[in-house]
Amino acid sequence: MLKDFSFYLQEFLRNITLIRISPFDIIDIAIVSFVIYKIIVWIKDTRAYQLIKGIAVLIVITQVSKWLNLNVINWLLTNTLSYGVLALLIVFQPELRRALEEIGRSKIWGKFLWLGPDEEMAIKWQNSVEEIIKAVMYLSKNKIGALIVVEGQTKIGDIINTGIIIDSEISSQLLINIFIPNTPLHDGAVIIRDGKIKAAACFLPLSENRYISKELGTRHRAALGISENSDATAIVVSEETGIISVAYNGGLTRNLGPEALRKILLRPLKQEKEKNGLSIFKWRR
């Protein structure tokens, strides 16, 4: 047995010495590794991650059934997996769309058009954040339900078109008045784009996640829905409890105070400053 092991080891080492690695091979491996890493980052903490684990288990069972000559099981699993590509495109449609949007809004493309940081816009956004927090805290204290969506780099014009266009500067008074019960605009979401209140009474897509807690209502499900379909940040105020929640990237963070909310809303500004001070709203052309 030791002789066999020694033989295989010598053959392996001999084959290794015959391998010639060029700089292009290193570049090729680096690109593939980077793509795999980005895919793992994109699907982490999403439904896709759980589904991929399930598919991996099916592949292992298929191979085991082949080794054990379980022909019927192997035939069923093999034919099922043969349609896996089409099934993946259907099941992972939200995740694939998010990945393509991430590529489309990559800073790599924007850097060629950027001419400098827009400090005035950054200061304006900081002031707007304070107005949003002031309004949200008032609504929370008085248990007035609210849903505020801050658009990211993925445009949600189709959502804006479902509501009433306002196109106003952000003020806490206006936000509070919008969500006062029994007023024309209180039912629906407010959309904030480019540091302005773009529209109110907008309809959002509801999340289809079956694992959402039953105690969360339509506003929370709508907030999760828009966060699953874009990179928008959705702020929710519960009218039953006054609890403030934020939905982002398909996840929901609850029981937030003013400091935590401020950090979340200023996060894009901080990230852009770390990346050469780029504008948080648009590229200068």
Q: In which band, very low, low, confident or very high, does the pLDDT at 12 lie, cut at 50, 70 and 90?
A: low
**For residue 281, pLDDT beyond 50:** no
The model's pTM: 0.62
Beta strand spans in 138-186 (E)? 146-150, 164-169
Domains plus CATH for the chain? Answer: 11-105 (no CATH), 119-277 (3.40.1700.10)
pLDDT in tens, 13-61: 666 555 666 777 788 888 888 888 877 776 665 556 666 777 778 888 8
Q: Alpha-carbon distance 107 to 102, whole Å?
A: 10
pLDDT over 50 at 283, yes or no: no
| pLDDT tens track for 267-280 | 877 666 655 544 44
Q: pLDDT tens digits for 75-103?
A: 888 877 777 667 666 666 666 666 666 65
The dihedral formed by the CA atoms of 65, 69, 71 and 76, expressed in degrees to the nearest 10 = 10
* C-alpha–C-alpha distance, residues 102 and 42, integer Å: 9
In the DSSP assignment, the letter for residue 149 is E
List, for residues 220-253, the tens digit of each pLDDT value.
999 999 998 888 999 999 999 999 999 998 889 9
Residues 6+ apart with CB under 8 A from 119: none
- Please write the tens of the pLDDT for every residue from 254-269: 999 999 999 999 987 7
DSSP string, 54-115: HHHHHHHHHHHHHHTT-HHHHHHHHHHHHTHHHHHHHHTHHHHHHHHHHHHT-HHHHTTT--
**Confidence grade of residue 112 (pLDDT, cut at 50, 70, 90):** very low
Q: Report the C-alpha gap between 21 and 221 in whole angstroms.
A: 52
Residue 220: which of 179, 209, 4 has the closest Cα? 209
